[in-house]
Every structure is written in structure tokens, then in C-alpha cells.
Amino acid sequence: MQLGIHLPHIGRKAGPDSIRRAAIQAEALGFDDVWVSEHIIVPKDGGYPPSPNFWDPVLTLTWAAAVTNRVRLGTSVLVLPLRHPLPLAKELATLQNLSGGRLILGAGVGWLEQEFDALGVPFRERGRRMDEGIAMMRAVWTQDPVTFDSNWIPARITDMRSQPQPIAPIPIWIGGASDAAIRRALRLDGWHGSRVRPEQAAPIVGRLRAERPGADFTVSLRVGFNANTVSDMRDALRAYQDAGVDHVMGAPEDREIDAYLTSAEAFRRAGENL
């Protein structure tokens, strides 16, 4: 089973030095990948997320890519309906090429309605916009010139060009536990779940593997922990592995960078020999 770690780009521990230190440590410890999350704008008194200080995910991964050579770079997750697919496709293709083909696009429809309102995106259309956005990005990544007819996203693309195209395909893993999210994941390259306990994982993995049994589909989970709970992670990771999970990304919840780095190292030790 592969292991990833979330970078410290959220809250008071976020900063260029923290992100650099964490990315270098992750590669040195043998993690398979490093990850980031996304919120663009959040309510003042929403309660969640606990901090509005979210550094941009694509720029954060670019910063991490510059100080690493091997670890993959993942998003957990980009809220695709909030973004126009064309500039995002350009950003992601550029990052894929700058990093030597290390990008994983974790994507979700989003849930924070006030965020959609702030950006002028219809919340009730987010699923259709996400499907169309993925199709549009894949079109400009693989066709030159490209023509794409859109229904939900404002775009008029007829016999146009967008370069650079990715040097390697960008795998897309879908987040979310709804039936729609599971169906969407099965059409793409992987599922990236969250808040799934080990005993809940087996039936979900079974459903996914019934339709996508091959190595071209990844079952991934995100788990949270901190300095006080990381000691419990070895048993949890073994249980996830027994359930058939291919990849687990750990998200340290420590608020200070030194505690984060200690927790990340302990999480890596917990996953040894799995």
C-alpha cells in the first residue's frame, strides 16, 4: 500500500519555509506523494474549515515540485466547478510538465454553498459543470487543435489551440462518498475517499473493484491524525490494506510546523512494511 502526506499549506503553520521543509522531509522519508487541499473563500463564522488561511493548491504544489525530484503531487481535492476549466487545464498541464509528470488531480464537486455564491457559480449545477469541465480539460490536453461544445460552462471552443499539453496523462481521482461521486470515479482513474473508517472501507472497495478490478484504477483514502493519535495509525493502516485500499494519504492536524513534522515522520513509520 502506498502512503502520502498532506503539506502544511493551511492555517498558521502555512508558509514557504514550512511547505519546503515538509516536501523535502516527505521525499527523504520515502512517502509516495504530497498533497494539498482547496478553499478559495469561506464564511467568517462558518466553523469549518478551522482556518481561512488556505494557500493556493496549484502554486503550493509547484513550490513543492521545485524542491523534490520523486514524490508525486496530488490535490485533495480541487473543487472543479468553482474554476473555469481552460485556465485550470493550462495550470495543471504546466505543473505536470515542470514536475516531470508527477501530478495527480484529486477532484470533487464541493459542498460549501456560500463559496459558490461568492464566485457566481450555480451550486445546483455543480455536478454537471464538473463532468463537463473534466471533459473540456481532457479535450485540450489531448487534441490540437481542439473543438469542444459546452452546455453548462461559458465557453466557445472551435478549432483552437492550447499548449503546452501534458507530457503524460494526468490521472483523475474523484473525492466524495455519494452514489454520484462513486459513479463518476468509476468512469475515471480512481476514488479518493475521506472520513471512512477501516470497517467501512471493505464494502466500498468491493463495489469499486467489482467494476474496476485492474491496476489502472486506484482506491485511495484520506485520514486525519495528530501527535496524540498517530500511535493508533499502524493498526488502522493494516486494516485499510486488508480491506483492499491501495493508497492512504495522512493529513496531520497539528497546528505548529515542528509538531506537524514529528507527526508526519511517525505516520511514515506506522506504514513501514505494509
Mean predicted confidence (pLDDT) in 154-180 = 97
Q: How far apart are the first and last CA of the chain?
A: 6
Backbone angles phi, psi at 93, to 5 degrees: -65, -40
Residues spanned by the domain of 139: 2-270
Q: What percentage of the chain exceeds 70 in pLDDT?
A: 100
pLDDT at 175 (0 to 100)? 98
Task: Write out pLDDT tens, residues 24-37.
Answer: 999 999 999 999 99
Mean predicted confidence (pLDDT) in 4-22 = 98
Mean predicted confidence (pLDDT) in 189-204 = 95
Q: Which of 67, 99, 71 is nearest to 2 (CA)?
A: 71
pLDDT at 49 (0 to 100)? 87
Q: Provide CB contacts within 8 A for 88, sequence distance 6+.
A: 78, 80, 133, 137
Mean predicted confidence (pLDDT) in 49-71 = 96
Task: Write out pLDDT tens, residues 72-129.
Answer: 999 999 999 999 999 999 999 999 999 999 999 999 999 999 999 999 999 999 999 9
Distance CA 137, CA 141 (A): 6
Average pLDDT, the chain: 97
pLDDT at 185 (0 to 100)? 98
Distance CA 271, CA 235 (A): 9
Task: Write out pLDDT tens, residues 230-250.
Answer: 888 999 999 999 999 999 999
Task: Write out pLDDT tens, residues 126-158.
Answer: 999 999 999 999 999 999 999 999 999 999 999
pTM: 0.97
Map residue 89 onto helix, strand or coil.
Answer: helix
Evaluate if residue 50 carries a pLDDT over 90.
Answer: no
Mean predicted confidence (pLDDT) in 191-218 = 96
For the chain, the domain total comes to: 1
pLDDT at 227 (0 to 100)? 84
What is the CATH number for 256? 3.20.20.30
pLDDT at 35 (0 to 100)? 98
Rounding to the nearest 10 degrees, give the CA dihedral for residues 131, 37, 156, 186: -20
pLDDT at 46 (0 to 100)? 79
